[in-house]
């Protein structure tokens, strides 16, 4: 199957725009470029509707972190999900992933708490990991006050999917069972160069080989230490007893096989796993629901499945 035509047109326009590649500038320039790109994908009037949105602060590992709470329409309490955004641990923020969180809130029928963890290179590994674990503890403790019930899950895309997998492992090790994990094209095996999808999709599909390497250089010199499961969750060893997972992969994504392999590792440990293999789509398609009907269908389908998985944890 070829790339979805709506996304192919977007990629072609982006290639012809002459815009500097994210990895060609400083982290500050890359953050500004990513914010502009995200805004272009969500024109005025395209905001996904939810019941309410509130900016709050949560506890991080070294102080308070900005966060945003999304609540569904209707009367709760609802399950609660902590969300960690993608962006290679270097770029991304609450605004770039606003519509992603709205999609999860709307279609999964959960309260979403999006957390702005500290970014590299100003705060290299393990700052993001430590913040994610601390923020998850805060969400678990405060879920009822946020409109949630006793069911608390974790979600994230790309680098945020990496953090979500690490959080799920850490909480299981501490004896705290989450209701589920939603790993959206997660970076669960780094750098992933031995996978076929890396070779097939290394260039031309938004997330490419130079950008991945740029992220890893800024994240930490240790980011290539695949023995550390806080960096490479697939090397945790024992996955038995982890919470159920919904894993989303995209056909034209260099990280496709990374997500598939992690799903199979969980399945081999008898963890309930549902893998969404999204054909014709690319890394980052959760931000493209307004652009592509196929992306829209995949977003709704996978979010609804995540909501089912969480509620099955009762």
Q: What is the pLDDT of residues 215-274, one digit of tens each?
A: 999 998 655 555 789 999 999 989 999 999 999 999 999 999 999 999 999 999 999 999
pLDDT at 197: 94
**Is residue 304 predicted with pLDDT exceeding 70?**
yes
CA–CA separation, 97 and 85 (whole Å): 6
CA–CA separation, 253 and 250 (whole Å): 6
**Is residue 192 predicted with pLDDT exceeding 70?**
no
**Mean of all residue pLDDT scores within the chain:** 94
Those residues whose C-beta lies under 8 Å from the C-beta of residue 238, and which sit 6 or more positions away, are 269
pLDDT at 195: 85
**Of the given ranges (32-46, 70-84, 152-166), which has the lowest mean pLDDT?**
32-46
Question: Angle at the Cα of 289 (from 163 to 256), degrees rounded to 5?
Answer: 45
**Is residue 97 predicted with pLDDT exceeding 60?**
yes
**Is residue 2 predicted with pLDDT exceeding 90?**
yes
pLDDT at 237: 84
Residue 234: its H or E element: none
The residues annotated as belonging to the active site are 158, 253, 283
pLDDT at 220: 83
- In the chain, count H helices and then E strands: 9, 8
- Could you give all domains of the chain from N- to C-terminal order, each with its CATH number? 5-312 (3.40.50.1820)
**Is residue 47 predicted with pLDDT exceeding 80?**
yes
Burial of 46 (0-12, 13-18, 19+ CB in 10 A): exposed
Question: Angle at the Cα of 21 (from 15 to 22), degrees rounded to 5?
Answer: 135
């Amino acid at each position: 199957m070829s790339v979805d035509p709506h996304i192919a047109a977007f990629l072609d326009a982006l290639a012809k725009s002459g815009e500097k590649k994210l990895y060609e500038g400083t982290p500050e320039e890359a953050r500004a470029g990513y914010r502009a790109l995200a805004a272009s994908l969500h024109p005025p009037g395209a905001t996904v509707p939810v019941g309410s949105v509130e900016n709050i602060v949560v506890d991080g590992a070294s102080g308070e972190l900005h966060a945003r709470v999304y609540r569904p329409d209707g009367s709760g309490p609802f399950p609660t999900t902590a969300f960690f955004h993608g962006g290679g641990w270097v770029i991304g923020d609450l605004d770039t992933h606003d519509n992603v969180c709205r999609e999860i809130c709307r279609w999964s029928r959960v309260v979403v708490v999006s957390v702005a963890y500290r970014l590299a290179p100003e705060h290299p590994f393990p700052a993001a990991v430590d913040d994610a674990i601390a923020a998850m503890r805060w969400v678990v403790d405060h879920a009822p006050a946020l409109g949630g019930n006793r069911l608390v899950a974790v979600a994230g895309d790309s680098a945020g999917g990496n953090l979500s997998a690490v959080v799920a492992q850490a909480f299981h090790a501490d004896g705290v069972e989450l209701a589920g994990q939603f790993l959206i094209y997660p970076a669960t095996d780094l750098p992933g160069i031995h996978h076929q999808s890396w070779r097939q999709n290394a260039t031309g599909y938004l997330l490419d080989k130079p950008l991945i390497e740029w992220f890893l250089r800024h994240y930490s010199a240790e980011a290539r230490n695949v023995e550390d499961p806080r960096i490479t969750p697939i090397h945790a060893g024992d996955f038995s007893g982890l919470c159920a997972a919904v894993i989303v992969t995209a056909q034209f994504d260099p990280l496709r096989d990374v997500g598939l392999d992690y799903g199979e590792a969980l399945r081999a440990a008898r963890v309930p796993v549902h893998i969404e293999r999204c054909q014709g789509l690319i890394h980052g398609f959760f931000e493209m629901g307004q652009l592509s009907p196929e992306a829209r269908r995949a977003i709704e389908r996978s979010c609804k499945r995540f909501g089912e998985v969480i509620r099955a944890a009762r």
